[in-house]
Structure 1
Amino acid sequence: MTRDEPRTGDETTVLLAALQSHRDVMLWKLDGLTDEQQRWSPVPSRTSLVGLVKHLANSEYGWFCETFGRPHEPLTDISQDIEADMRAAPGETTQEIVDFYRRSWTAADASVHELGLDATGTSYAGTTVSMRWVLVHMIEDTVRHAGHADIIRELVDGGTGHHLPPR
């Protein structure tokens, strides 16, 4: 399900393509599974496939939009539960979370294109960060969570990697 990534091009194009490739992987991990399988957690932290997608959507809106003072959808409230963005809330559907994730991509990519890699913003911790740093950080975070998703998906049905296994 991955897209062909450019092997040449400007920095923005290459970095956004790398991020998009792993965004696609995250959604592939949900494909063909039941709602129960998408929400299943094999670990004490209660990490699930749909929870990882929700977390990444919140992260993209937070880093690419909130950090740079750009408009974004409301983020999951983590003031009472630091892990609330890692789980589907009661009544929250997988499709709602996937749509939220896709909208976060659109907002994130617009921020990168409109502000440029040298733009600076203030992180939630109060530190100054560049858009370049945020983009690299989100690639790292998405790849890290794609690894988690790969393990969970393998436990569910044996599916691993960047694409559906041959049938």
Structure 2
Amino acid sequence: MVTNVPFIGAEKESLYASLDRHRDAVLWKLDGLDDEQLRRPMTPSGTTLLGLVKHLAVVEYGWFCETFGRAMEPFPFDPEDDGADLRVESHESTADVVDYYGRARAAADEVIGEVGIEELGTARFGASMSLRWVLIHMIEETARHAGHMDILRELIDGATGDHAM
């Protein structure tokens, strides 16, 4: 089922629906592909569909949980290793990465449900920011990478679109 942003709705509800719509598109881009296709580097920098999912899990935890002082899983890589959040290691299964994204989404959803739209948190670099700003940023981040995934998926098997029809 495709999440739709309400035409008339409260701000937080509308922002959340928009984020969830893009999150669902990210997962849909994986449907029907095998492990080799999900891990296949499709750009000179090595971008993969599964690597983008891992990265999105990391940013969900970081922007929602870390910013608002909520519990989060440790990152499954060395944070000092630049680009490690985009790399899927051989010991990480597809299910591991997808499950990690699901847990990150669930943890972020708890924050979204508990925190007021204007409530402030503190980013890891010290800036104060509202939940509104984080929601907008995560919509941008998720939509941007869903767009990357659109291109990668089309290159892999020709499939296009943002949701199953």
CA–CA distance in 1 between the matches of 2:51 and 2:161?
19
2:138: which partner in 1?
138
Quick check: 143-152 or 87-96, which moved more? 87-96
2:4–2:18 Cα contact (<8 Å) kept: no
State the Cα distance separating 1:80 from its structure 2 match. Answer: 3.5
1:150 to 2:150 alignment = yes
CA–CA distance in 2 between the matches of 1:103 and 1:79?
19
Quick check: 10-19 or 156-165, which moved more? 156-165
State the Cα distance separating 1:17 from its structure 2 match. Answer: 0.5
1:55 to 2:55 alignment = yes
TM-score (norm: length of structure 1): 0.93
Within-5 A mapping of 1:5-84: 5-84=5-84
Map Cα deviations across residues 29-57 of structure 1 (whole Å, 9 max, x no partner): 11000100001112121110000000000
Unaligned runs of at least 5 residues, structure 1: none
CA–CA distance in 2 between the matches of 1:125 and 1:76?
21
CA–CA distance in 2 between the matches of 1:80 and 1:5?
37
CA–CA distance in 1 between the matches of 2:96 and 2:79?
22
One-letter amino acid matched to 1:46: G
State the Cα distance separating 1:146 from its structure 2 match. Answer: 0.5
State the Cα distance separating 1:78 from its structure 2 match. Answer: 4.4
One-letter amino acid matched to 2:140: E
CA–CA distance in 1 between the matches of 2:46 and 2:81?
13
State the aligned residue count.
165
CA–CA distance in 1 between the matches of 2:131 and 2:4?
24
* Paired residue secondary structure (2:143): helix
One-letter amino acid matched to 1:149: M
State the Cα distance separating 1:6 from its structure 2 match. Answer: 1.8
Map Cα deviations across residues 119-162 of structure 1 (whole Å, 9 max, x no partner): 11111211111111000000000000011000000000111121
2:96: which partner in 1?
96
Map Cα deviations across residues 87-139 of structure 1 (whole Å, 9 max, x no partner): 11221011111111111111111111111111111112111111110000000
Quick check: 47-56 or 76-85, which moved more? 76-85
TM-score (norm: length of structure 2): 0.94
% identity of equivalent residues: 53
* Paired residue secondary structure (2:129): strand
